[in-house]
Amino acid sequence: MSQPIKVGLCQINPTLGDFDYNYNKILDSYNDALKQNCELVVFPEMVVTGYPPQDLLLSDKFIDKNLSILNDFVKHVSKTCILGFVNREDGKLFNSAAICRDGKIVKVYNKILLPTYDVFDEDRYFENGSEIGQFDIDIDGKNLNCIIQICEDLWEDDYNRKLSKEIIDLNPDLIVNISSSPYHRNRKSVRKELIANKFADANCPFIYCNLVGGQDELIFDGNSLVLNSDMNLIKEGKSFEEDLVIADLSSPSINQENEETDEEMYQALCLGVKDYFRKTGHKKAVIGLSGGIDSALVACLAVDALGPENVHLVSMPSRFSSNHSKSDAKELATNLNANFETIDIDALFQKYLDTLDHKFKGMETNVAEENIQSRIRGNILMAFSNKFDCLVLSTGNKTELALGYCTLYGDMSGGLSVIGDLSKTDVYNLSKWKNKNSNNVIPENSITKAPSAELAENQVDPFDYDSISPIVDKIIYNESFDKDFSDKDGIRKKINQNEFKRRQAAPILRVSRKAFGIGRRFPIVNHFHE
């Protein structure tokens, strides 16, 4: 591009269905960009509604309101602006971008490639667009040939139509992609590489504006990009924060960091918790604090996301709880400056045993008695939830959920599963990172001791997590194993058998490329074995 142009990427965090809130945020961001003398202002995919609306798209009133908000906003537009909305043509819905200027919509582009895999289900609601989105921008009397894409249009490898080649053949001066691309590990570097690979021959700048914020299980990371004609980075938006990214397309490139860190994973989970609470209207969280590593990490995330004054930590020891677990729980709560109390459950547990004695008499103690303790704790946490208007955060990790090493209506109780997409290995790594960056807030004993549910005498978890966590991940990711892998521990079978538990789990914040929840759909009744 021979001619300079200043662009503003409005990386904002809309709330799904809160049209008035979204309208005000869009308008304020647009005006802020104009104050920076931007010639082009860009918003993310479906920013008017929030993403993904799912079956709200079946409501005519929802569609009507989205169109009304768009038309109200357009009246305030002078310089060229691009934003995502839901378009309706002849009774059909499209995931679309409106190109606006001088108080009117000058072009509508309908998304061509509709993702229908993993967490995406756009084919359920939308029709495919057909035409490449060409539009022009007039800069000092010269028209620039620009192309608009929407998110999946970039991810073309699994589709018959290769849009990148069609776009390059049109000899554009600028390519713009508006996205709602959810975060998972390594997603940022993958996006950069994909853009560079697809459009290396375009010889024009590339703008990528991504959504930020949490929506149910999904976390959108932002990280909007402005690349020059050599596909080198000019400007990058913040991670997991709203940002107005201002860039002159004639600016020199800057160094870019592709390596993703534990810090980014921690930030993602914090944002997921924060937005889940803010957007559902909850203020306070309650967490069962065992003294172990999983609940410790969840407590840290909750305090950082919500503030210590809004987090209630409850220790519920039984006769099998070790002294160090009790002291570790108290020490963590003190370090976090969060609300803390201890409720001993042993008398309640004994009452259960006495009540069931005539039914269980002569039978060996087993998982029934163990799980009673877990369910007592779940009941107490739910009582706190009801009485003090707190949302229970469940503390199970992905490895445990995969293998069924968790208790329905016990430790699985809760309104949000914070670390349900972290393997046990991930939990340890993130806890060590947290300690390194927060003066060892988690007691060292919680990290180094053998993990245990402490539901029986001298109990320890029956897994070597260092070896089993990677195997679980490979199975969930559907990756191939070496020929000599025999699965002697029956891990596949355990994963299949415990699907019924996961169907009843709290929503799980997604931070991997394949999480339990909406992106993984396996039948509960399943007799297939690989």
Residue-wise pLDDT for 408-439, tens only, equals: 999 999 999 999 999 999 999 999 999 999 98
| Choice among 112-121, 257-266, 355-364, 505-514 with the minimum mean pLDDT | 257-266
So what's the pLDDT on residue 321?
86
So what's the pLDDT on residue 27?
98
More confident residue, 30 or 456: 30
So what's the pLDDT on residue 132?
96
* 3-state DSSP assignment of residue 442: coil
Q: Flag whether 121 is in a domain.
A: yes
462-472 pLDDT per residue, tens: 888 988 999 99
Q: Flag whether 455 is in a domain.
A: yes
Say if residue 129 is in the same domain as residue 278.
no
Query: What is the signed CA dihedral for 444, 328, 462, 502, rounded to 10 degrees?
Result: -110
Q: What angle do CA 19, 25, 28 make, to 5 degrees?
A: 135
CATH at 460: 3.40.50.620
Say if residue 321 is in the same domain as residue 401.
yes
CA distance 155 to 139: 30
User: Would residue 45 show up in a list of annotated catalytic residues for this protein?
Assistant: yes
The DSSP call for residue 455 is: S
User: Would residue 151 show up in a list of annotated catalytic residues for this protein?
Assistant: yes
Query: Domain total for the chain?
Result: 2
CA distance 322 to 304: 28
CA distance 126 to 69: 20
150-190 pLDDT per residue, tens: 999 999 999 999 999 999 999 999 999 999 999 998 888 89
Beta strands at 174-179 and 142-150: parallel, antiparallel or unpaired: parallel
Q: How many CB atoms lie within 10 A of CB 122?
A: 20
Contact between 57 and 84 under an 8 Å Cβ cutoff? The reply is no
Mean pLDDT of 26-33: 98
pTM tops 0.75, yes or no: yes
CATH at 144: 3.60.110.10
Q: Is the peptide bond before 182 cis (omega within 30 degrees of 0)?
A: no
Residue 85 phi/psi, 5° resolution?
A: -155, 180
The domain of 431 spans 265-502
So what's the pLDDT on residue 257?
67
134-160 pLDDT per residue, tens: 999 887 677 889 999 999 999 999 999
CA 316 to chain centre: 30
CA distance 37 to 483: 61
Catalytic residue among 25, 79, 111, 274: 111
Catalytic residue among 10, 146, 151, 204: 151
So what's the pLDDT on residue 304?
98
Say if residue 242 is in the same domain as residue 271.
no
CA distance 56 to 47: 15
Q: Flag whether 294 is in a domain.
A: yes
Q: Going by C-beta distance under 8 Å and a sequence separation of 6 or more, which residues neighbour residue 192?
A: 225, 233, 256, 258
Say if residue 94 is in the same domain as residue 227.
yes
Catalytic residue among 6, 39, 45, 270: 45
Say if residue 27 is in the same domain as residue 119.
yes
Mean pLDDT of 229-254: 92
Nearest C-alpha neighbor of 208 from the set 247, 160, 169, 170: 247
Q: Domain end: 249, 280, 295, which one?
A: 249
So what's the pLDDT on residue 451?
85
If you search the block for the tokens 């020929």, which residue do you land on? 483
CA distance 112 to 8: 25
Q: What is the chain's length?
A: 530
